[in-house]
Amino acid sequence: MRGEVTAFVALGANLGDAAQTLRDAISALRCTPGIRLVQASSLYRTAPIESSGPDYINAVAEVATTLTAPALLAALQAIENAAGRERPYRNAPRTLDLDVLLYGSARIHSTALTVPHPRMGARAFVLVPLHEIAPERVTDEVLNAVSGQSIQRM
């Protein structure tokens, strides 16, 4: 598709059948106009960070999109809402969380969206699945920095 931008999306959930929720979200990405799913990582189990509740299931998807970054964020939020996402407080347990990690080579700093994602470099649950599908995006040094965080490929 002409005019496509490569973007990477983090997926996470820790309420209900989190693994199935992530599989459903990946299917929803496939069906969203303006988004073409390129690939998705394996699913990973991780302990909550700065949060509570059960372990999280995480993944990263690579998409090619004709949507602007704000429109991509809106599409992701629509998928979250369809899955029953609520935001009662910061870092609350989640039925589904979708974050734009990277949007081409863009640097975006708005009240609604920051790209690259500001905390991705400190989180194994983002870096390990991202490295799986796009190893050129994650250096060994960055991976080593999060090596103490527990993460298990499912």
What distance in Å separates the CA atoms of residue 28 and residue 111, rounded to the nearest whole number? 26
CA 126 to chain CA mean position, Å: 7
Cα-Cα-Cα-Cα torsion 141, 110, 81, 124, nearest 10 degrees, comes to: 10
Token pair 């979250």 is found at: 80
Q: Is 99 a catalytic residue?
A: yes
Of these residues, 87, 97, 137, 140, which one is catalytic?
Answer: 97
Q: Is 36 a catalytic residue?
A: no
Of the candidates 26, 31, 30, 29, the residue with the CA atom closest to the CA atom of residue 43: 26
Q: Is 119 a catalytic residue?
A: no
Of these residues, 45, 55, 85, 140, which one is catalytic?
Answer: 85
Of these residues, 17, 45, 94, 107, which one is catalytic?
Answer: 94
Of the candidates 38, 34, 40, 37, the residue with the CA atom closest to the CA atom of residue 65: 34
What distance in Å separates the CA atoms of residue 64 and residue 105, rounded to the nearest whole number? 13
Residue 98: is it exposed, middle or buried by C-beta count within 10 angstroms (0-12/13-18/19+)? buried
Q: Is 97 a catalytic residue?
A: yes
Question: What positions carry a catalytic annotation?
Answer: 85, 94, 97, 99
